[in-house]
Amino acid sequence: MNYELTWRLGRLLHFARRVKGSIALRGWHGTISRIFQERLRVQSAFRSGPDQDPILPAPSPPFHAKHGQRRMLVVDSMTPDPTRDSGSLRLTQMLDLLHQDGWSLDFFADDGYATVDDVRRLAEIGVTAHQGNLLRWLRDHGADLDAILLCRQPVACQYLGLARKLAPSAIVAFDTVDLHYLREQRAAELAGSNRLHRHAAQSRKRELHAISLSDVTFVVSPEEQATLTRELPDARVELLSNIHEIHGRGQGFEARRDLLFIGGFGHPPNADAMHWFAAEILPRLRVEEPGIALHVAGDIDEPSRLALARDGIHIHGRVKDLGPLVDSCRISVAPLRFGAGVKGKVNLAMSHGLPVVVTSVAAEGMYLVNGINALIADDAAGFAEATLRLYRDGDLWQRLSNAALDNVRDHFSVDHARQTLQQVFAPAIPRTGA
């Protein structure tokens, strides 16, 4: 069989599905050009040329790994940037833990983009970033691989067959990041769209097929793990949630003001949440607290920026260091009406001791209990009431702040993630004489 031809045809189909799906899911939020907006943000693309080496070597591995070092290929849809999205932050931390555990790591981004800073950032945690033809690279190096990590459904669907054929000795792991089909089903239900339901059904078929072909699948929430246990009882599904350090609380209640939302608008649930908050929740808040404002941090396209422009909303765009915002705002809000997985924006706020008001969707997989470590409400009036109550009650704020820090420590620590990764990849025996 001509595997390169099969792969190229698969990529064409994959691209067509992404365009079709993005139009369907983004709907009222913009046009097809927005599919590519994040890619076009690259300020200085790290590309190969006659005078430029397309690979920046990673630093030397830990001493214990130099003899018989294990080798892993990691493929994601984009080069991870921890300031862009929670999935990137989680993958960066996973790569760091794998490097510390002695793995030699090679990385490809499916979209082919990376800045020099991206590649240097990966190199600092022991990862060698590559560009070019992944099929050709797998032909040359597949036999040397002990493991392959494929991140997100589109990447897994493209490369699982090639991984099996060209790296027959490797453990193949599929990191869902979130269950795409579950997020799309919820979007379809919210919109009441048969077209979106059909798209979600197609995604479900592809995603479950990829899970069935993988040696192990990572999910980020207990709810998703339970869902896959019902759907595919023979599949090995491991819980590997978000990974956060405990930053601790900065200022106290009285020194803070305003609300914070963290999330890029390239992710449809975030865009929908902010349009809903601006239209139905913020006006209720400002009737009671005229000076209250919402700070929005994350990538945002110009049409959304213009649509949200009004008194009481401050749009910051992508913020390299969120610390000052997190330490100055009184509440973090996550008014998500659909989505899946675990919400990094909620984890991040709680790791700083910033109390959160969330919907049930945003609370999923977070071990949150209303009134104990968060406030949870699903309609506009209830969300506004909960926000005002927490905004005015210093004692409640302090209790939820302390409980937030405990929640991250108990469920989303670096040690939890390290144990899971070691357990999953322990069967990959180091190659003697490597």
pLDDT at residue 306, as a whole number = 93
Residue 370 DSSP symbol: B
Mean pLDDT over residues 343-365, rounded? 92
Q: What is the number of structural domains in the chain?
A: 2
- Show the domain range for 310: 259-412
Q: Which residue's entry shows tokens 């144990």?
A: 419
What are the beta bridge partners of residue 416? none
pLDDT given at position 429: 54
pLDDT score of 29 more than 50: no
> Is 253 within a domain?
no
Cα–Cα separations (whole angstroms), residue 239 to 211, 236, 290, 413: 14, 10, 43, 13
Asked whether residue 142 falls in the same domain as residue 234, the answer is yes
What's the pLDDT score for residue 11?
Answer: 54
Task: Please check whether residues 207 and 295 belong to one and the same domain.
Answer: no
On average, the pLDDT of the chain sits at 84
Residues 196 and 48 in one domain: yes
SS3 220: coil
* Residue 29 counted as domain residue: yes
Q: Is 227 helix (H, G, I), strand (E, B) or coil?
A: helix
What mean pLDDT comes out for the span 359-378?
A: 94
Residue 254 lies in a domain: no
* pLDDT higher than threshold 80 for residue 46: no
My answer on whether 215 and 277 are in the same domain is no
pLDDT at 181: 84
Going by the DSSP 8-state scheme, the letter that residue 281 receives in this structure is: I
Per DSSP, the three-state class of 434 is coil
Are residues 230 and 264 located together in one domain of the fold?
Answer: no
Q: Which residue's structure tokens are 């690979």?
A: 55
DSSP-derived letter for residue 29 is: G
* Neighbour-count burial of 379, counting CB atoms closer than 10 A to its CB (0-12 exposed, 13-18 middle, 19+ buried): exposed
pLDDT at 12: 53
Which residue, chain included where needed, has tokens 């409980």? 403
Residues 154 and 89 in one domain: yes
pTM: 0.72
Mean pLDDT of the 77-83 span = 88
Phi, psi angle pair for 262, to nearest 5°: -120, 125
Per-residue model confidence (pLDDT) at position 68: 64
CA atoms within 13 A on the CB side of 398: 7
Tell me phi and psi for residue 216, to 5 degrees.
Answer: -155, 145
Q: For residue 434, tell me if it sits in a domain.
A: no
Q: Is 248 contained in some domain?
A: no
**How buried is 152 (Cβ within 10 angstroms: 0-12 exposed, 13-18 middle, 19+ buried)?**
buried
Q: How far apart are CA 427 and CA 305, in angstroms?
A: 49
Same structural domain for residues 185 and 330? Answer: no
pLDDT score recorded for residue 35: 34
- The answer on pLDDT for 163 being more than 70 is yes
99 and 216 in a single domain? The answer is: yes
Q: Which residue, 220, 260, 416, is CA-closest to 349?
A: 260
Does residue 367 sit within a domain? yes
Mean pLDDT in residue range 374-380: 97
Is residue 421 included in any domain, yes or no? Answer: yes
Q: Are residues 419 and 391 in the same domain?
A: no
Q: What is the pLDDT, as a whole number, of residue 431?
A: 46
Altogether, the residues listed in the chain come to a count of: 434
286 Cβ contact partners less than 8 Å away, ≥ 6 residues apart = 292, 311, 312
Digit-coded pLDDT (tens) for 210-250? 999 999 999 988 889 999 999 999 999 999 988 888 888 98
Comparison of pLDDT for 8 and 355, the residue scoring more: 355
Q: Are residues 300 and 419 in the same domain?
A: no
Max Cα-Cα span within the chain: 71
pLDDT of residue 189: 87
Is the domain of 288 the same as that of 321? Answer: yes
Helices 380-392, 394-411: inter-axial angle, 10-degree rounding: 110
Place of tokens 């943000």: 41
Which tokens belong to 282? 């913020």
pLDDT of residue 244: 82
Q: What is the pLDDT of residue 266?
A: 84
Backbone angles phi, psi at 193, to 5 degrees: -110, 120
CB-based contact 325:295 (threshold 8 Å): yes
**Any idea what the CATH number is for the domain that residue 184 is in?**
3.40.50.2000
Q: Are residues 324 and 288 in the same domain?
A: yes
8 Å CB contact between 41 and 299? yes
pLDDT of 69 over the 60 cut: yes
CA atoms of 282 and 279, how far apart (whole Å): 7
pLDDT in tens, 257-306: 999 999 888 888 899 999 999 999 999 999 999 999 999 998 899 999 99
- Are residues 338 and 26 in contact, defined by beta-carbon separation less than 8 angstroms? no
Highest mean pLDDT among 96-100, 336-340, 423-427: 96-100
Is residue 321 in a domain? Answer: yes
